Structure formats: C-alpha cells, structure tokens
Amino acid sequence: MQGNKYFKYLNLLSFSDTKRTRDIFQVNPTVIPAREEPAEVSIKIFDYSPDSFDEHGLEDAAQCIRYKDNGRISWINVDGIRKADIEKICAQFGIHMLIQEDILSVGQRPKMDEMEPVLFCLLNMLYFNEQNGSVETEQISIVLGDHFVLSFQDDAQRDVFNPIRDKLRIAGTKLRQSGADYLCYAMLDMIVDNYFVVMEKLSERIEFVEDKIIRSGNNNRALAEINNLRKELIVLKRNVNPVRDLINGFIRSDSDLLEERTTKYFKDIYDHIIQATDLAENYRDMMMSLQDLYLNNVNLRMNEVMKVMAVVTCLMAPATVIGGIFGMNFDRIPYIHDKYGFFIAVSAMLFIPIWMLRIFRKRGWF
C-alpha cells in the first residue's frame, strides 16, 4: 500500500483530458452525425420598422409565413434544431435544400454561401467555461433574405444577441432605421466581438500557468495545463480563422440584398477577425514558449541536482582514497601502529574536503 501513492506519477496521461482530445480531432465531414432533436423548440419574432416594433413567440413553425413580405423587417430566431420545423420554415421562405442540410449539420466549418434568393452563413458562437477552462462552441446558421433574417441555434439558454434585442426595443436606433442586411451585420459583429471575450479569458489562464511554472518549476500539473490550453487554442483557431473568408464573402458579394453603404460595416468586422486571428497565433506562440520555459526549468533543476551530487562525490573522494589506502592488507603501512594514526587519518579526511570547498567557492562553482 505504501507504493500506491507513487504509482500516480507513473501515468502522466492522467493529468490531461484525453476525451477532450477525441472531441477536438475526431471530425469527419463525410459522416453525418446523429443530431438529437430537442424536446422543445423556441421561436422568437422581432418584427420592426422605424416607427413600430413587435416582439412575441410562436408555437408552430408554420406561423412564420405571415412575416414574409409584410412590409417590415422580421428577425425569426429559432432555438432548438428540429428537422420538421426547419423544413417548414425553409419551404415557406424558398430556401435551397443544401442550406437546409447545412442548418441540420453538426461540426461544419464556418462558411458563407450565396443561393438566390438568400445569403447564408454558418459559424460558431464561442463561450468560455470557467469551471473546466474549456472553449465551448454553439453552431448558428443565419439566412439573410429580402426584409427578413432567420437564425437557427441549438441552445435556447444562451447566445450573444441580447444587446441587439435591447437596441431593437428602443425607437430611433440605427438598427430600427436600417434594413435586414444591417441586422445581419450586427449579429455577425456581436459574434466576432465575443471571440475577444473568450480570448481574454484564455489569456488570463495563460498568465496563470506562466506564473505557476516560474514559481513551482517542474510541476507535472503545469505541464498538463499547458497541454490543455493548447487544445483549447486549437478549438479557438479552428473556429476563428475561417470566419475571415466568411466575412470576405459578404464584402465581395454583388447581391441586391446588401446595400452598398453596409459594405463598410462588414469591412470593420473583417478588420476585427484579422486581429483575432493574429491574437490566436500569438497565443499559440506563447504556449510554445511556455512549454520551452517548463522544459528549461526541468533541465535547470536537474542540473542543480547533478551539481550538488557532483560536489558531494568530490568531497567524499579524499576520504574514500584515504580509507582505501589504510585499509589495504599489507604488513608495512605508515602509522599503522601509531597511537595517533587513526586521528591523523580522520583529520586528513575532514581537512581536505574543507579545503576543496573553499576552492570551489572561490571559483564560483556553487
């Protein structure tokens, strides 16, 4: 039982989350994953114009048709992906079958498609889980049409659009005065801005691990946290980098759904996503530096241990030599019959190491 407390140090993989590794790397776009349909679906309507605003929920997806071509801007937000509801809504608004498949998919790469009569984009909202220090993703699909925006997401409990909802409730805001393309821009801008919130949390974790490495040196926990942070940075880069091409698709689009004055707003998002991409790359370089710092600390600690052992070995060498000489089985050995022979030998064993210590100290070896 005494040896069991040391057994945990033999398995360093116990300090890292291998399940998280499987979740990150086991992505095959050719295999359609099974999506669990939610028990409840929430459909919220934000129907507005510069002079009016209406907000309510729907019980049936078939009721969405009344908000098509009603003369106002309609934002239909669907929380909970259920195949039957998606097919109803897409059929009502004339959305292509390929877009329906993308909405129902899981683990898609962020992208933007232009299929008449709508513009479609798919990307992930990012959240940071404070409890386990992981980056969580939620796929959102946005369909921009003529005077309407459809958004589909999985989790009804959280998203990043509450500031947009608050602005829509206030008369005279730019959102209320603009078209559906500006609403689409505002949603994409809010998603990208939240990337920086997640990156700030990761930055705090990186600084914490760096302090831990500097304080504690070769700590296996620190190495495990470095590996975990590298996994989360992979998740971050996988979801942030493709958004640059997505936003670029809106900038280069010639669709009549996008007003020319809105293009400059998408360029602003493009600048932000470029900055987020650069920061993610900087974080990756920082993690590599942290790993090098950890290994350097381990090597430095090992060198210190080896230096102490080498000094101790050198200090014990004179005593070993003297003891070996006077321990030989010869008839004639100096001081073998002298009554002070033992004390002379012991004094030499003590004096020589002390003299060696002074020389080592004078040369700055320790």
Rounded to two decimals, the pTM is 0.77
CA atoms of 92 and 53, how far apart (whole Å): 23
Q: What is the radius of gyration, based on Cα positions, of the chain?
A: 34
pLDDT at 8: 42
Residues 328 and 256 in one domain: no
Q: CATH no. for residue 316? A: 1.20.58
Residues 43 and 175 in one domain: yes
pLDDT at 74: 94
Cβ contacts of 221 within 8 Å, gap of 6 or more: 15, 212
Cβ contacts of 110 within 8 Å, gap of 6 or more: 121, 122, 123, 124, 239, 242, 243, 245, 246
pLDDT tens sequence across 212-254: 877 776 666 777 888 888 888 888 999 999 999 999 999 999 8
Per-residue tokens: 215: 């304080």
**Domain total of the chain:** 2
CA atoms of 335 and 324, how far apart (whole Å): 14
Cross-strand pairs, 124: 139
pLDDT at 356: 85
- Whether the bond between 117 and the residue before it is cis, its omega within 30 degrees of 0, is yes
**In contact, 193 and 227? CB cutoff 8 Å:** no
Residues 270 and 342 in one domain: no
**In contact, 235 and 133? CB cutoff 8 Å:** no
pLDDT at 295: 80
Residues 239 and 341 in one domain: no
114 φ/ψ sector (left φ>0, alpha ψ -120 to 50, else beta):
beta
∠ at Cα 130 (129, 132), nearest 5°?
Answer: 75
Per-residue tokens: 362: 């004078």
Size of the chain in residues? 366
Residues 102 and 223 in one domain: yes
Among residues 251, 273, 297, the one where a domain terminates is: 297
pLDDT at 11: 41
CA distances from 229 to 133, 223, 271, 290 (A): 8, 10, 26, 11
pLDDT tens sequence across 116-159: 889 999 999 999 998 888 899 999 999 999 999 999 998 878 88
**In contact, 247 and 273? CB cutoff 8 Å:** yes
* Backbone CA torsion sign across 118, 119, 120, 126: negative
Q: CATH no. for residue 69? A: 3.30.460.20
Residues 164 and 82 in one domain: yes
Residues 197 and 312 in one domain: no
Among residues 251, 278, 297, the one where a domain terminates is: 297
Q: Is 71 helix (H, G, I), strand (E, B) or coil?
A: coil
Helix%, strand%, coil% for the chain, nearest 5: 60, 15, 25
pLDDT at 1: 43
Phi first, then psi, for residue 337 (nearest 5°) are: -110, 5
How many CA atoms within 13 Å lie on the side-chain side of 87?
3
Which residue is listed with tokens 């831990």? Answer: 212
| Residue ranges making up the domain that contains 353 | 306-362
217 φ/ψ sector (left φ>0, alpha ψ -120 to 50, else beta):
left
pLDDT at 169: 92
pLDDT tens digit at each of 366 positions of the chain = 444 443 343 344 444 456 666 666 566 555 555 667 777 888 999 999 999 999 999 988 888 998 888 889 999 999 988 889 999 999 999 999 999 999 988 888 899 999 888 999 999 999 999 888 889 999 999 999 999 999 999 887 888 999 999 999 999 899 999 999 999 999 999 999 999 999 999 988 888 888 887 777 666 677 788 888 888 888 899 999 999 999 999 999 989 999 988 888 999 999 999 999 999 899 888 888 888 888 887 787 888 888 888 888 888 888 888 888 877 777 777 777 777 778 888 888 888 888 888 888 888 776
**In contact, 176 and 50? CB cutoff 8 Å:** yes
